[in-house]
Structure 1
Amino acid sequence: MLRHIVLFSAKDPADIPAIRDGLSILRDIPHARLLEVAVNERHDALSDEPDVVVYGEFDDAEALAAYKAHPLYLESIRRVRPLRDMRLAVDYTVPAG
């Protein structure tokens, strides 16, 4: 299984709901085992915190590639890119067992 985690920060905190909504359409893409979109509830005055998190689980790299090729993925980018500052993605394989 492959885990896909993407962290976003907003240029303007007022845009956090719009970023969440723009990312939420990703849940309608059929290639993920699980896909969650959430606003970060932890805030630390000593560091820059991401505002929105996307967490996904995929069977393999091919399923993740199909997810990224879906038209809703491109629509999500179109909605979110102008509003976000930082985007940091991590993909890793979960060992069996």
Structure 2
Amino acid sequence: MITHIVLFKLKDRSPEAIAQTVQVLKDMEGKIDELKHIEVGVDVVHSERSYDIALFTKFESMEALGAYQIHPLHQKVIEHMTQVREASASVDYES
């Protein structure tokens, strides 16, 4: 399995903006065959170094992760995230 985690810091950190982006991410669930698990979490600490949203996903292989990256629905999510994010960080590892 490959675990893919992305942290997002949003430009607009209001509860409404965060909720909208959480929904955009969650809307991928069940719509991309390669995506075996998705979890979206919202930061509750709100420290200076906190990111607003964590995306936690799992894939069967690196090939599946690659197919997810180019999937049309994921591409639409990337478009949204590009508009709303201030910063992001990711990590991918074998699990």
TM-score interval for Structure 1 and Structure 2 normalised by the shorter chain? 0.7 to 0.9
Q: Equivalents in 2 of 1:56, 1:43: separation in Å?
A: 23
What is the aligned-residue RMSD (CA, Å)?
1.3
Q: What is residue 7 of structure 1 aligned with on the other side?
A: 7
Q: Which amino acid letter does the alignment assign opposite residue 13 of structure 2?
A: P
Structure of larger gyration radius: 1
Give aligned-pair identity as a percent.
33
Q: What is residue 31 of structure 1 aligned with on the other side?
A: 34
Q: What is residue 16 of structure 1 aligned with on the other side?
A: 18
Gaps of 5+ in 1: none
Q: Equivalents in 1 of 2:41, 2:32: separation in Å?
A: 17
How many residue pairs match? The answer is 92
Q: Structure 1 length as normaliser, TM-score?
A: 0.85
Q: Equivalents in 1 of 2:26, 2:65: separation in Å?
A: 17
Shift of 1:18: 2.0
Deviations 1:17-54 (Å, cap 9, x if unpaired)?
Answer: 2221222222221212211122122333xx42011111
Q: Structure 2 length as normaliser, TM-score?
A: 0.86
Shift of 1:80: 2.0
Q: What is residue 67 of structure 1 aligned with on the other side?
A: 68
